[in-house]
Amino acid sequence: MFSQVPHTIPTTAMASCLASSLFLKQLALLAVAIALPVASSSPALGCFDSILSFGDSLADTGNLLYLSSSEGDPTHSCFPPYGETYFHHPTGRYSDGRLVIDFVAQLLGLPFVAPYYWDDGGRSVADFGKGVNFAVAGATALDESFFEEWGVSDLQPNISLGYQLGLFKELLPSLCSTASDCNQFLANSLVLMGEIGGNDYNYLFFVGTDLEEIQGIVPLVIEEIASAITELIDLGAVTILVPGNFPIGCLPVYLTEFQVSDKEEYDPSTGCLNWLNEFSQYHNKHLQRKLDHLRELHPQANIIYVDYYHDALRFYQSPDEFGFDGAILRACCGGGGTYNYNPLVLCNSNSTVCDDPSSYISWDGLHFTEAAYRWVFKGMADGSFTVPKLDISCPSLSMNEPALTSSE
């Protein structure tokens, strides 16, 4: 599908973005603490030796940046104002700063997780010893061929979940020398499985697919996620975090696309579209049921559901408690309109950008600001929105607790 080592960056701007991102590894070595209270006790550094990440733009730390360079069409996340808050330059992350995966790495005292397609002209396997990230913006759980049958074409480089897992299995023998070593490597790694599946729905929603038909593919998406988890457990993975879907009815991209005049379609307490949030809960409910089943099949593994939905929903219900005093349903960076989102004018240097991203929940209409991701991480790290409750600093977790039931 795609060359595993991208071509030379085709433009000056892209080259600058790439050169800047190469400093992430060095920056990460200095950033082992974060300015946010997390778990009540200090992390026991060393409980996890590495982080293995799979997913889409919510976890992509630069993969699409490099993939898009080979196509001669650099992704817009490679240009300002992306990355302005923490890194002070674009890194390929779809935010103004750090993502949940970055906060997790910092809590564990590990470097920022290197994107698999990272290349400084001399990439070595040793660069992945502390973790490797296969998440790619735009990635889906289902393979690209599935969407072709539904008439969805022109997907950006789509490194599906199955393809990401295949890349990992190809890389694994380079990270460990024997089956026993590989088993131990995975046992000592924290696996982040997603969020994944959101793009499967995005692509279909935005070509006008009927809601009932999209609900019909939810079991297929869940099965792909479950299959990837099972393969990783068979390889030796022990601790796997599996996030659910966010409340998409609160995202400016959806609020813009499906805007209606009927006020009854909206939640009066948040302004979010009810039917879209109900769909997110539908996905999450099916995912939790599948994880319950996987726990029964694999009692030796710690399969942990992270409730992104309820974690994020509280921002919209009580924004002042989290410092979100801007327009909570508007994108910080966008192309104008009611929700500052215009699909023809994506977040870029010519966009309308808020003065203080930390007062906004949405960065570009589809992704969160660093401030919002920080609070999502906080909810995960203190165990408020994980099942079983997570002590992220150590793999000795309680197992087989029943999953919380998403509210209908």
In a domain, 403, yes or no: no
Task: Calculate ∠ Cα 360-362-365, nearest 5°.
Answer: 140
Query: Which range marks the domain in which residue 345 is found?
Result: 28-387
Can you read off the two tokens belonging to residue 101?
């995966």
Question: Is residue 18 within 8 Å of residue 65, measured between CB atoms?
Answer: yes
In a domain, 306, yes or no: yes
Enter the pTM of the model: 0.86
In a domain, 48, yes or no: yes
In a domain, 236, yes or no: yes
C-alpha torsion 195→92→334→196, nearest 10: -10
Can you read off the two tokens belonging to residue 64?
């699409």
CATH number where 234 lies: 3.40.50.1110
Res 229: pLDDT: 98
In a domain, 342, yes or no: yes
Res 152: pLDDT: 79
User: Domain total for the chain?
Assistant: 1
Amino acid identity of residue 357, one-letter, is P
Contact partners, residue 109, CB within 8 Å, separation at least 6? 32, 43, 45, 46
Res 269: pLDDT: 95
CA 174/CA 192 separation, integer angstroms: 20
Res 53: pLDDT: 98
Tell me the angle at which helices 179-187 and 161-175 cross, rounded to the nearest 10 degrees: 120
DSSP string, 218-272: HHHHHHHHHHHHHHHHHHT--EEEEE----GGGSHHHHHHT--S-GGGB-TTT--
What SS3 class is residue 189?
strand
Quick count: other Cβ atoms within 10 Å of Cβ 205?
Answer: 19
Res 67: pLDDT: 87
Which residues are designated catalytic? Answer: 57, 364, 367
In a domain, 402, yes or no: no
Quick count: other Cβ atoms within 10 Å of Cβ 401?
Answer: 14
Res 123: pLDDT: 55
pLDDT in 10s for each residue of the chain, 408 residues: 333 323 222 333 344 344 433 333 332 322 323 333 333 233 334 489 999 999 999 999 999 998 887 666 788 888 999 999 999 999 999 999 999 999 999 999 999 999 999 765 445 666 788 899 999 999 999 998 898 888 777 666 678 999 999 999 999 999 998 999 999 999 999 999 999 999 999 999 999 999 999 999 999 999 999 999 999 999 999 999 999 999 999 999 999 999 999 999 999 999 999 999 999 999 999 999 999 999 999 999 999 999 999 999 999 999 999 999 878 999 999 999 999 999 888 898 889 899 999 999 999 999 999 999 999 999 988 888 888 876 655 544 333 333 323 332
Res 397: pLDDT: 37
In a domain, 16, yes or no: no
Question: Is residue 137 within 8 Å of residue 88, measured between CB atoms?
Answer: no
The number of C-alpha atoms within 13 Å of 232 and in the hemisphere containing its C-beta is 34
Question: Is residue 110 within 8 Å of residue 30, measured between CB atoms?
Answer: no
Res 324: pLDDT: 97
Contact partners, residue 106, CB within 8 Å, separation at least 6? 28, 31, 32, 33, 34, 112
